[in-house]
Amino acid sequence: MDNPPTTSICLRVYPFLYRIPVVISLPKSSPFPPLSSPSLGNTLTMKNWTVAICLLTASLSAWSSELYTPQPVLQGDDDKIVAKLRFDSPESGDLYLATIINGQLRFLTQNAQGIALTEIPTPFKPNETFQGEYPLFSVDGKGLAPGNYPLYQIVTQADTDPLNDKNWIGGRNGLNFLSFSVGLPQKVRVLPFNDLGMHCMDSDFSVFSILPPFNIVNAQVVGQGSDGEPELLDADEVEVRYSAITDRKGSINSSSLAKTNFWQYAEGLFGAPLPPGESLTGLYMPADHPDQPGEQPLHHNAEQDWFSAEGIPIVPTDDMGQMNPYQMLRISAYDKKTGEPLGATDVVVPVSTEVSCDTCHASGKMAANDADVAWATEADLEIQTKRNILILHDKQHETQLQKNTPVLCAGCHYSPALDLEKKGPQGEQQGKSTLSQVMHLFHGELRDAKGNPIIPTGNTVPVEQSCYNCHPGKTTQCQRGAMKSAGLTCTACHGGLLAVGGKFPLQKGGSLDGSHDGSPRRPWLDLPRCQSCHTGDAVDHLDGEGLVFHEDGIRLMQTYRTGDDSASPLLAENKRFAENENTLFRNSHGHNEIACEGCHGSTHAIWPNADISANDNLTAIQLQGHTGTIIECDTCHAPGSLEMTLKGPHGLHNINDSRWINRHYYFYQSEAESCQACHGKELEGTPLSKMAATRTFNVEDKTVILEKGQQVSCDLCHEKP
């Protein structure tokens, strides 16, 4: 029988630095759907290796295991390709490893000579119970053509077909993935970050608007000098652009047109007749630019020494019509003179429309149930709710908003978020409360018949009952990352509704620059700070009454003193973890002028996200091979080029460097307190010394394995000094 005609599909496999097209041939009569289709059906059951490649790449998340490597980027012939696997809970069955070579799926097997490749689905480890850490292999990178090589791992029920995801332990969530970059010149590192960790926008603009589609991505480009030392590159050396990219679950967003009615009402709201697709700052989604679709430019902000795209009009609906508040863009750097691609990194550009007021303001609910008022009857709940708010506003404040739709709330109530020129209150805004005050203070003072707050607040109140009534949200879950993992709520940093609304004057040091101490909080400016909880180290940190300590006795679980109704942020005397003076975290710089968010992740989404499959984690994985704060020195420094030092970020020493293992004792002899600052006064280990990844060391002629998350103490390897 003749082979059927084939169609080529360009598949984007996740690399660490570069986009790699893998051409896959499929029969034209194949029932396999497009890669971006959300309905993949049971196509895995097809005995077609190329179909399996598509599915493996389209559905990547995590189950109870983690596939990782200490070295994702290999430059020299002596480098080893190392893969390790860690199971958080037992899994029993057949363990399969697969990769893609020359566009074909190959399974990894073991024999007497080492690692072999086969077309036949063959278990790497058959019929075992897997628990704890497994070193999978360590092989030479010699002979491999330059490129990016993916590695996939699953555990199936014993003696079942690995190409049928119904046999996978954990289903499609049981698939792990990483990528090795072999022999590709690592010319630059791109460190991208969103400014806030979440941007909100209205789902409908016909009645009123609080926020338009408006998102911000910043990025720094790190090159290396001839001595291997990192250097920040500027607009004279590189061009930086953003483009749409598919995430690990097959979601991609390249366009905002036809997904929102913003442009239909933009002129009435903002006085600007915007062309369809154009944001308030002139930016477009990649597919929407009428003259130059495709990659869109970031401009260089000389004051901040980073590149910025301020005002990307991204919406939370992807190109398949699915809601995804955590979509990704690829940030790429190009040589300014030659146009040569130098490097790229993917980043979450978060946006949500889950800011609806229908919990209280839908017709019949507590804020729209007065029998003497003709409440809205529209079938669209969002429009109905918004009309009810205007009805209530007109009734209580004798305004005529219903007759003047669409209404921009910030037109009367000043919002720094929409003050793009930073002019301060103008016109109708002068003399009125800010938008933050009328939202937080007004709703914070509402009481029920028994005198209890309508919206409860406090560190013990679940966020679903408080902040998520208005902020995104019970579905979006914008509070995520390290702070959520630590058990913090929104109020632990920001205080309650009355504090955010500025009811109570700030205490000394409570305002960002000290100029508003004793005055109400300024929205978007007088905000919590990192140093308010990270007040120092194991040797020197804040102490005293009213402080809510973490169980480690070093960090705080609340940014203000108990009993302070204004929730004025604390100021640390030890500035090891402090932001720049009078500057918020999102605008601060640290080690060698690298942006704080470039290494730690965005505000409200500090790395890592506890969900290992979350898009938030991909940036760190691409940059250093594992989740969490960017901590690997060779992310920016040429391997071996960095001298032994205690001058890393926050006083950090060399990471994952065998020289440090052999020589750190001499640093302790001269700078014992620097070691104790993170490892503890008795060198017993603290959360400041925990392992960022599982590593194996050779210490005093013995092998020592330190697990990810383990607090490093001296006696793990030898006696204390």
Largest CA distance in the chain: 86
The pLDDT score that the predictor gives to residue 114 is 84
- For 567, how many CA atoms within 13 A lie in the half-sphere containing its CB? 27
CA 157 to CA 413: how far, in whole Å?
60
pTM: 0.78
Q: How far apart are CA 639 and CA 223, in angstroms?
A: 14
Residue 305 is encoded by which pair of tokens?
């020494």
Mean pLDDT by 10 residues, the chain (721 residues): 30 27 28 26 30 37 62 64 85 92 83 88 95 85 70 93 91 78 74 96 97 98 86 97 89 95 97 94 96 96 97 96 96 94 94 93 96 96 97 96 97 96 94 95 94 91 91 92 94 96 96 96 96 97 96 96 96 97 97 97 96 92 92 89 92 91 88 95 96 89 91 92 88
Taking CB atoms within 8 Å and a gap of at least 24, the contacts of 117-121 are 119/49, 121/96, 121/161, 121/162, 121/163
| Residues whose CB falls within 8 Å of the CB of residue 86, separated by 6 or more in sequence, listed in order | 65, 66, 68, 132, 133, 134, 694, 708
Neighbouring-strand partners of residue 153: 97, 176
Give the single-character DSSP code of 238. E
**Tokens coding 703:** 């092998």
DSSP helix/strand/coil, 394? helix
CA 337 from centre of chain: 32
Q: What is the pLDDT of residue 459?
A: 87
Domain ranges of the chain: 1-185, 643-716
Q: Is the distance from CB of 329 to CB of 349 less than 8 angstroms?
A: yes
Q: Give the residue carrying structure tokens 């497009």.
A: 34
Cβ–Cβ contacts within 10 Å for residue 522, how many?
A: 18
Six-digit token pair at 427? 């016109």
Residue 515 tokens, joined: 């100029």
Cis (ω within 30 of 0) for the bond into 608? yes
Least Cα distance to 439 among 501, 505, 359 occurs for: 501
Dump the DSSP string for 515-575.
Answer: TTTTSPPPTTTS---GGGT----SSS---STT--B-TTSSSBSSSS-TT-TT-PPP--SS-
Residue 218 near residue 597 (C-beta atoms within 8 A): yes
**How far is Cα 103 from Cα 170, in angstroms, rounded to an integer?**
27
Distance of CA 397 to the CA centre of its chain: 41
Please give the C-alpha separations between residue 144 and each of 76, 108, 147, 702, in angstroms, as whole numbers. 11, 15, 8, 32
Task: Tell me whether strands 326-335 and 80-101 are parallel, antiparallel or unpaired.
Answer: unpaired
99 near 152, Cβ under 8 Å? yes
Peptide bond into 72 cis (omega under 30): no
Backbone angles phi and psi of 690, in degrees to 5? -75, 150
Q: Which residue, 665, 599, 606, 661, is CA-closest to 632?
A: 599
Q: Is 643 helix (H, G, I), strand (E, B) or coil?
A: coil
Q: Which of 168, 165, 149 is nearest to 55 (CA)?
A: 165
In angstroms, rounded to a whole number, what is the distance separating the alpha carbons of residues 696 and 710? 13
Q: Could you give the CA distance from residue 716 to residue 353 in angstroms, rounded to a whole number?
A: 49
The Cβ-side half-sphere exposure at 475, using a 13 Å CA radius, reads: 11
**Which residues lie across from 10 on neighbouring strands?**
23
The DSSP 8-state label assigned to residue 12 in this structure reads: E
Neighbour tally for 681: CB within 10 Å: 12
In CATH, the number for domain 1-185 is 2.60.40.2550
Tokens of 181: 């970059």
Burial class (CB in 10 A: 0-12, 13-18, 19+), 680: buried
Asked whether 326 and 616 are in contact (CB, 8 A), the reply is: yes
Residue 502: both structure tokens together: 């500025």
